[in-house]
């Protein structure tokens, strides 16, 4: 068996593929990468299919030892990458060989980095996906566990791969003061015009209750005219307002159904950005139409496909 | 009547009614099977619940206008008459103060004896209205108003697997150990979720459920744990 040995698992490192779909009906959530953009780039920079299993590293502190010859790339948050003690460029694929020590330090900007290898890690899918959902105990190497010291990450040997790098000008910046686009929907009628105006013109802060289930924010209270609703399906990015009037943006590991009123939903391009924020960061909301949201999504997809990578070697 | 709202960038939510009712739930069920076959590859996932259906679609395959008009067309003609289409599943339940730490308190609060609470809970036929919260957590309704009790003011950190519980007019069996604020009245030895089995759950949305009282010995014989 070839692969990588986990010397230090980091604070919170999870195996993720693009997510688990089609099983909401038995209560399984989506899982998958919080920052889908950095995730897709990690796979693309290795010429992988875009659904390959890779590591989502939150905050940092990961150390691996290679027992295989392959290529490796790190995208997402600015966690300094060292291979055998030498600092290396991120968004840039590197050849590694058995015995190499790969270190990801703590992030200086952003919260989630993605580490991928050629062909992805070989992880048996559960319900069609390797995505780790710790709350459900499903996915990853075993029972939804986060990465542990001593784990082994199996992957195939790959010595003839093409290596690529993404030019600096195309790499995202992770600011801690951002504007997030929201489509009003769901129970928006339960919110007064004054409350909606306040929601879309105020500053909110990311609290320390921010995780893969959702980001709880703090700021001016928004009060819907109803307390609760008959429990209903919650989509990715939905912004739920519980009784305390403080918004929660629901992310990949959210409950599939719930009974709090929702003012609308954040677009996925921006859930990827909010998930890069740490407690204390500032956010604003900007209202856009569903048509704008569709256009932005399609544009981003076209841009992703057309952005040229630089070939190496 | 049927109402369609935007939920998110690639999700619409269809409301079939405003209240919990078997006829509304039956419509949700009909809609699920219809959309699965008619939307097929444009569909990413469906979340049926009490009176609504969340439709998540592939944004690169179609847009909200197309999905909305398809939904209107397909779902406008669902029939109103079907009510109980699902299978009838019997779940054994060991009701006792030992297995249901809130049983006595619930009886006291609702002005009944423990025996009456057990009888009222087990004589009703429930419908599976929704599955969510956690894998395999089935929301069953509706509990007789005589024993409907609100959630505990302080949720428990750890509710045991198999706990039979009541919250307002809903009842459920906890599929795994988890935090929870429902009133615990017994234990069910039937596993509600097993990721290694097919099907993973003994019930699905739209099914009917009855609880059958069993004693301590029967509970242990059926594989229950205390």
* Closest Cβ opposite residue A183 in set B9, B131, B195: B9
Residues A70, A158: contact at Cβ < 8 Å?
yes
Contact A28 B135 (CB under 8 A): yes
A271 and A128 fall within a common domain:
no
Cβ-nearest to A256 among B18, B53, B132: B132
Are B13 and A232 in contact (CB < 8 Å)?
yes
Closest CA to B78 of B128, B131, B44, B29: B29
In this prediction, residue B80 carries a pLDDT of: 67
pLDDT grade for B81, boundaries at 50, 70 and 90: low
Residues A213 and A130 both lie in one domain: no
Q: Which residues contact A162 (CB under 8 A, 6 or more apart)?
A: A47, A311, A312, A313
H or E element, residue B64: helix B64-75
Q: How many other CB atoms are found less than 10 A from the CB of residue B196?
A: 6
Residue A310 falls inside a structural domain:
no
Pairing of strands A3-9, A152-154: antiparallel
Among chain A residues, CA nearest to B18: A230
A250: tokens are 């629901």
Please enumerate residues of A whose Cβ is less than 8 A from a Cβ of B: 21-28, 126-127, 135-138, 183-186, 230-238, 255-258, 262, 264-268, 290-291, 293-294, 297-298, 301
Quick one: CATH architecture of B88-221? Beta Barrel (2.40)
B51: which 2 tokens?
Answer: 């009176």
Residues A278-286: what's their mean pLDDT?
Answer: 97
- Nearest-CA residue of chain B relative to A300? B60
Check CB contact of B173 with chain A, cutoff 8 Å. no
pLDDT tens-digit series, residues A63-118: 999 999 999 999 999 999 999 999 999 999 999 999 999 999 999 999 999 999 99
pLDDT tens for residues A197-215?
999 999 999 999 999 999 9
Is residue A144 located within the same domain as residue A226? no
B125 upstream amide cis, omega within 30 of 0:
no
Task: Identify which of B9, B13, B60 has the shortest CB distance to residue A293.
Answer: B9
- Closest residue in chain B to residue A290, using alpha carbons only: B9
| Neighbouring residues of B154: CB distance < 8 A, sequence distance ≥ 6 | B181
Q: Which of A21, A297, A301 sits opposite B45 (nearest CB)?
A: A21
Separation between Cα atoms, residue B127 and residue B124, nearest integer Å? 10
CB contact under 8 A, A235 and B54: yes
Nearest neighbour of B48 by CB, restricted to A25, A127, A267: A25
From A258, A214, A236, select the one nearest B8 (Cα to Cα). Answer: A236
A271 occurs within a structural domain:
yes
Give me the residue from B11, B60, B137 closest to A27, CB to CB. B137
- Nearest CA distance, B113 vs chain A (angstrom): 31
Taking CB atoms and an 8 Å limit, are A234 and B204 in contact across chains?
A: no
CA–CA separation, B148 and B117 (whole Å): 10
- The answer to whether the B3-75 and B88-221 domains have the same CATH topology is no
Do B95 and B120 form a contact (C-beta atoms < 8 A)?
no
Asked whether residue A183 falls in the same domain as residue A158, the answer is: no
Q: Which residues of B touch A260 (CB under 8 A)?
A: none
Interatomic CA distance for residues A183 and A292, integer angstroms: 9
CATH number for the domain harbouring residue A230: 2.40.100.10
pTM given for the model: 0.93
Is residue B50 within 8 Å of B22, Cβ to Cβ? no
How high is the mean pLDDT of chain A? Answer: 96
- B182 and A CB contact within 8 Å: no
CA distance A292 to chain B (A): 9
Q: Report the pLDDT value the prediction gives residue B83, as an integer from 0 to 100.
A: 60
**Which pair of tokens denotes residue B48?**
């049926």
Q: Both A129 and A96 in a single domain?
A: yes
Mean pLDDT of A163-176: 94
pLDDT above 90 (res B71): yes
Cα distance from N-terminal residue to C-terminal residue, chain A: 28
User: What is the tens place of the pLDDT at every residue in A215-263?
Assistant: 999 999 999 998 788 899 999 999 999 888 999 999 999 999 988 899 9
Banded pLDDT at B97 (limits 50, 70, 90) = very high
Q: Extract the runs of DSSP E, i.e. beta strands, from A39-111.
A: 54-58, 60-66, 70-76, 81-83, 86-88, 94-96, 101-106
Per-residue model confidence as pLDDT tens digits over B163-198: 999 999 999 999 999 888 899 999 999 999 999 998
Distance, in Å, from the CA atom of B130 to the CA atom of A234, rounded to the nearest integer, reads: 13
Whole-Å CA distances, B173 to A85, A254, B102, B190, B193:
53, 21, 14, 9, 10
pLDDT at A18: 98
Structural domain includes residue A96: yes
Residue of B nearest to A213 (CA): B133
- For residue A293, the chain B residues in CB contact (below 8 A) are 9
In this complex, is the C-beta atom of B150 within 8 Å of any C-beta atom belonging to chain A? no
Structure tokens at B158: 């750890």
Mean pLDDT of B32-38: 92
Q: Find all residues with CB under 8 Å of A219, minimum gap 6, and list them.
A: A202, A203, A204, A205, A246, A247
Identify whether the C-beta of residue A183 lies closer than 8 Å to the C-beta of residue A290.
yes
Domain count of chain A? 2
Residues of A in contact with B204 (CB under 8 A): 25
CA distance A198 to A193: 9
Q: Return the structure tokens found at A118.
A: 């050629």
In whole angstroms, give the CA distance from residue B193 to residue B83. Answer: 26
The alpha carbon of residue B32 is apart from the nearest alpha carbon of chain A, in Å, by 10
**Alpha carbons B16 and B5: distance in angstroms, whole number:** 12
CATH topology of domain B3-75: Gyrase A; domain 2 (3.30.1360)
Q: Does B5 touch chain A (CB under 8 A)?
A: yes
Structural domain containing residue A30: 3-166
Q: Where are the domains of chain B?
A: 3-75, 88-221
Distance between CA atoms of residues B97 and B5, nearest Å: 45
Domain membership flag for residue A67: yes
A107, A150 Cβ separation under 8 angstroms: no
Contact A183 B8 (CB under 8 A): yes
Residue A300 lies in a domain: yes
Based on the domain organization, do A7 and A135 belong to the same domain? yes
Domain membership flag for residue A312: no
Average pLDDT over residues A33-56: 97
Are A142 and A238 found together in one domain? no
Do A163 and A71 contact (CB within 8 A), yes or no?
yes
Last residue of a domain, one of A147, A166, A185: A166
């Amino acid at each position: 068996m070839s692969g990588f040995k986990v010397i230090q698992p980091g604070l919170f490192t999870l195996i993720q593929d693009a997510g688990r779909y089609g099983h909401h009906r038995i209560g399984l959530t989506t899982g998958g990468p919080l920052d889908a953009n950095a995730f897709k780039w990690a796979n693309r920079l290795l010429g992988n299919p875009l659904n390959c299993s890779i590591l989502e590293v939150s905050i940092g502190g990961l150390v691996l030892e290679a027992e295989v010859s392959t290529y490796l790339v790190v995208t997402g948050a600015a966690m300094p990458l060292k291979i055998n003690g030498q600092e290396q460029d991120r968004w840039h694929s590197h050849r590694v060989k058995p015995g190499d020590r790969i270190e990801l330090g703590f992030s200086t900007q952003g919260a989630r980095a993605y580490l991928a290898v050629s062909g992805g890690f070989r992880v048996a899918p559960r319900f069609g996906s390797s995505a780790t959902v710790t709350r459900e105990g499903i996915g990853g190497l075993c029972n939804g566990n986060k990465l542990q010291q001593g784990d082994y990450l199996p992957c195939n040997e790959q010595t003839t791969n093409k290596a690529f790098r993404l030019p600096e000008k195309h790499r995202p910046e992770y600011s801690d003061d951002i504007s997030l686009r929201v489509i009003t929907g769901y129970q928006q009628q339960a919110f007064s015009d004054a409350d909606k105006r306040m929601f879309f013109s105020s500053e909110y802060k990311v609290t320390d209750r921010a995780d893969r289930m959702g980001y709880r924010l703090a700021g001016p209270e928004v009060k819907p005219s109803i307390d609760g609703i008959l429990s209903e399906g919650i989509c990715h990015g939905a912004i739920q307002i519980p009784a305390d009037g403080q918004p929660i943006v629901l992310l990949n590991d959210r409950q599939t159904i719930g009974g709090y009123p929702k003012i609308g939903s954040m677009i996925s391009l921006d859930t990827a950005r909010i998930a890069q924020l740490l407690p204390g960061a500032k956010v604003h909301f900007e209202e856009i139409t569903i048509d704008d949201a569709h256009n932005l999504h399609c544009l981003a997809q076209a841009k992703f496909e057309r952005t040229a990578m630089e070939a190496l070697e | 009547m049927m109402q369609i709202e935007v939920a998110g960038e690639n999700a619409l939510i269809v409301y079939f009614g405003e209240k919990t009712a078997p006829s509304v739930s039956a419509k949700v069920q009909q809609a699920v099977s219809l959309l699965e076959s008619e939307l097929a590859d444009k569909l990413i996932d469906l979340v049926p619940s009490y009176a609504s259906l969340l439709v998540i679609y592939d944004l690169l395959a179609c847009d909200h206008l197309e999905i909305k008009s398809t939904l209107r067309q397909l779902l406008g003609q669902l029939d109103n008459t079907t009510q109980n289409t699902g299978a009838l599943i019997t779940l054994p339940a060991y009701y006792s103060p030992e297995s249901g730490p809130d049983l006595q308190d619930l009886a006291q609060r609702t002005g009944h004896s423990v025996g009456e609470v057990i009888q009222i809970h087990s004589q009703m036929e429930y419908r599976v209205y929704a599955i969510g919260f956690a894998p395999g957590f089935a929301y069953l309704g509706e509990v007789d108003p005589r024993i409907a009790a609100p959630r505990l003011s302080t949720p428990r950190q750890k509710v045991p697997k198999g706990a039979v519980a009541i919250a307002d007019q809903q009842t459920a069996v906890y599929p795994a150990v988890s935090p929870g604020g429902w009133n615990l009245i017994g234990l069910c030895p039937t596993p509600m979720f097993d990721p290694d089995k097919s099907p993973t759950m003994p019930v699905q949305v739209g099914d009917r459920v009855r609880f059958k009282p069993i004693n301590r010995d029967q509970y242990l014989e059926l594989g229950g744990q205390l």
